[in-house]
Amino acid sequence: MSETVIRIENLGKKYLIRHQQRERYTALRDVLANKFKSFGKRLVGLQPHSSNLQPSREEFWALKDVLFEVKQGDRIGIIGRNGAGKTTLLKLLSRITEPTTGRIAIKGRVASLLEVGTGFHPELTGRENIFLNGAILGMSKAEIKRKFDEIVDFAEIEKFLDTPVKRYSSGMYVRLAFAVAAHLEPEILLVDEVLAVGDAQFQKKCLGKMEDVSNKEGRTVLFVSHNMGAVAQLCSKAILLRKGSIVKEGDTQLAIDYYISEASSERNNGFTASPNSDKDMFISKAQALNSEGKPTTHFTHKESIVLAVNCVINTWVSNTVMGFFIRDRKGRKIFTNNNTEWVNIDQRSREIYVTATLPSDLLVPGQYIFTFAISIPQVSIVDLVEDSLTITIIDAGSKFSMFEGYDYGCVFVDCKWKIENIKYEVG
C-alpha cells in the first residue's frame, strides 16, 4: 500500500482586504484651503482634524477547512472556477505563503511550477538557473550535471542556454522552468495553469512527462488546470474546489461531470420571446437540454444535445419549415438542419413543441451559437431568431486534448482506418 506523502488537516488561508471609503468630490480650492487651515492650527498648537477617510477591512478566506491526503504516485487534478482557491492551495504546499489555520505535512522534495519564471533569477543565464534551481531543491552539483543535457534537450533552448533568462520569451521561460522542475527528481511535482503559455506540441510533451514521472518513477503530481481534457488524460483522481472548500473528491471523471453540471446550472439558458407578437408564426422559446431533460449551456463532447423549441401559430402559413444553423466563435457556419416533419402539423394547433437531437461526439470543444428560423424555402422568412442560444462543448477526455490550442475544425468525424503491411524486411 502506498504511503501518504501529503497530509492536509483543516487548512485555511485568510487575507485582509482593505477598502477605501468613498470621498466626496473635492475641488482644488478646497484642498488648498484645508492645507492652510492645517498649517494655521499647527502654528497655534492645535491638532489638525484627522481625515474622515478610514480604510475599512474585510476578511476573505481563500481556503477554509480543507482536509485531504495524497498517496505516493497519485496524480491529482485540482479543478474549479477562478477564485476557488486552487493556486492558493499550491502556494501553501510550496511554502510560498503560510497557512492561517491548520497544518500541512509533506514527505519528500517538492518542485513547483506556479507561474512563468518562478524561482528563476532574471540576470542569470539559463545554464546558471538550472544549477540554481537544483541547489534550491537540495541536489548536489554532480546530480544536476547528470540531468543537465536531458533538461536542455527537453526545453529546446540550447541556442539560448548562455543568455540571461530576462531576455527569454514567455514560451522559452515555461519550457525551461518545466524541464528543470520535472527532471531534477523531486518526489512531488506541483504544476499550475502555467503550461497554457506553451504551444500545443509542448503541452503534449509536458503531459507525457508528467505521466512518466508518476507511472514509471512513482512520483506524485498535483495539477491545476481549466483544461478538463488534460485533467482527464493525466489524473487518476480530482479535487473540486468552490469558494475555498472541497465540494467533490475522488474519481476524475465523476468530479469533472459534477463540475460541468454545477457550472451549467448557474447560467440562464435559451431564448424567450414576447407572447404578444403579431407575426403569423413565431419562435417563442428555444433551449438546450441534457440527457435528463434539464436546460443547460455546458455539455461534454460525449453528450447528446437536445434542442427544444416552442412555436406559436397565430395564422398557419403553408409550405413552411422550421430549422436552425450553428456558427462557431469565429463566425463560421458549421451546418444547417431543417425539420422535414413540419408539414404534418395539425393546422388548427396554436402552439407546437419541436425537438432536434444532436448526437454525441459531433462538435469539438468550443463555443457555438444557434440561429432558429421558420421559413418558406427559397421564398421568404416568416420568423428569424438570430444568435438566440449559446452552448459550450467541454473536452472531458477526448484524444483531441493533446492538440489543445490547435484549430482542428468544428466536428468529430469517426473515420474507419485500416493499416496493412504490404512489405516485410527480408531476413
Q: What percent of the chain has pLDDT over 90?
A: 30
Average pLDDT in the 76-104 region?
90
Angle at 356 between CA 351 and CA 359, to 5 degrees: 165
Residue 119 region, left (φ>0) first, then alpha (ψ -120 to 50), else beta?
Answer: left
Look at 230 and 308; give whichever has higher pLDDT.
308
Return the bridge partners of 335, or none: 326
Percentage of the chain exceeding pLDDT 70: 81
- pLDDT-derived band at 339 (thresholds 50, 70, 90) equals confident
The predicted pLDDT at position 40 comes to 61
The total number of residues written for the chain in this structure: 427
More confident residue, 1 or 365: 365
Any idea what DSSP says for residue 42?
A: H
Q: Please, which pLDDT band fits residue 57 given cuts at 50, 70 and 90? A: confident
Backbone angles phi, psi at 325, to 5 degrees: -135, 160
Residue 12: per-residue pLDDT: 94
C-alpha cell at 292: 435528463
Evaluate whether 208 touches 216 at the Cβ level (below 8 Å).
no
More confident residue, 116 or 381: 381
Give the least confident one: 157-161, 229-233, 372-376: 229-233
Question: Can you give the pLDDT at residue 26?
Answer: 55
Set of cell numbers at residue 345? 402539423
Looking at every residue in the chain, the average pLDDT score rounds to: 82
pLDDT value of position 139: 78
Task: Specify the pLDDT at position 31.
Answer: 62
d(CA 247, CA 259): 9
CB 286 within 8 A of CB 385: yes
What pLDDT shows up at residue 253? Answer: 85
DSSP-assigned letters across all residues of 172-221: HHHHHHHHHHHHS--SEEEE-GGGGGS-HHHHHHHHHHHHHHHHTT--EE
b/e 356-388 (16+ beta carbons within 10 angstroms → b): bebeeebbbbbebbbbbbbbeeeeeebbebeeb
Specify whether the CB–CB gap between 146 and 114 falls below 8 A. no
pTM of this structure: 0.63
Max avg pLDDT among 196-210, 218-232, 387-401: 218-232
Helices (H), 346-413: none
3-state secondary structure of 280: coil
Find the angle CA(73)-CA(77)-CA(83) to the nearest 5 degrees. Answer: 140
Q: Could you tell me where the DSSP H helices lie in 269-391?
A: none
Domains of the chain from N-terminus onward: 21-54 (no CATH), 62-265 (3.40.50.300), 271-403 (2.70.50.60)
What's the pLDDT score for residue 222?
92
At 417, which amino acid appears? W
* Grid cell digits, residue 11: 487548512
**Position 54 confidence tier, pLDDT thresholds 50, 70, 90:** low
C-alpha cell at 31: 484642498
pLDDT one-digit tens code per residue, 4-45: 999 999 999 998 877 555 455 555 666 666 666 665 666 656
Q: Residue 125's pLDDT is what? A: 93
CA atoms within 13 A on the CB side of 122: 6
Q: Rounded CA gap, 312 and 352, in Å? A: 7
Contact 174, 147 (CB under 8 A): no
